[in-house]
Amino acid sequence: MTPTSSPTVTLRPITDVDREFLFALYASTRDQELAQVPWDDATKHAFLSQQFEAQHHAYTTNYPGATLDVVEVDGRAAGRLYVHRRADVIGVIDIAFLPDCRGQGIGTALLRDVLAEASEAGVPAELYVERFNPAQALYRRLGFRVVDEGDVYLRMRATTEAADVS
């Protein structure tokens, strides 16, 4: 996707019609990882399908009341933003974009909106990121700092004082 002008970015709640898109999006986030395994396409697809279903179930079960949105860019489904708002923290459950929509500032703008919302509410914003995920650089630029290190994931938090929402 190569925009000629500023794209129009909108959020809308996911529906059952979005399952195919959400699966393709999820699969695109695992491409590099699965390129390293010697599985055939059918095995990779079965694995991705099982993992997607488990993740979707975990998100919908463990985060009641969360907003699960498809990110549309110029009317086209381009990503997802899942946010769980609690009294003490606004948690970004997941943010992901199709490969051709990455690196264009869309995620930065959406995260700044989340940070502004957290600042207005007087609570921190928080997210988890895999240790090897290059998006860590973006999160750090926006004021997120590592507050807990797990084996696979880092928990990052941006407080009202640390967040760069400009």
For residue 42, the surrounding DSSP H or E stretch is helix 41-62
Q: How far is CA 99 from the centre of its chain?
A: 13
Model pLDDT for residues 108-158, shown as the tens digit of each residue:
999 999 999 999 999 999 999 999 888 999 999 999 999 999 999 999 999
Residue 40: what are its φ and ψ, rounded to 5°? -80, 170
Q: In the predicted model, is pLDDT for residue 32 greater than 80?
A: yes
Question: Quick one: pLDDT at residue 165?
Answer: 44
Question: Any bridge partners for residue 149, and if so which?
Answer: 154
- What pLDDT, on the 0 to 100 scale, is given for residue 4? 55
Q: Does domain 9-158 have CATH number 3.40.630.30?
A: yes
How close are the terminal C-alpha atoms of the chain, in Å?
25
CB 165 within 8 A of CB 116: yes
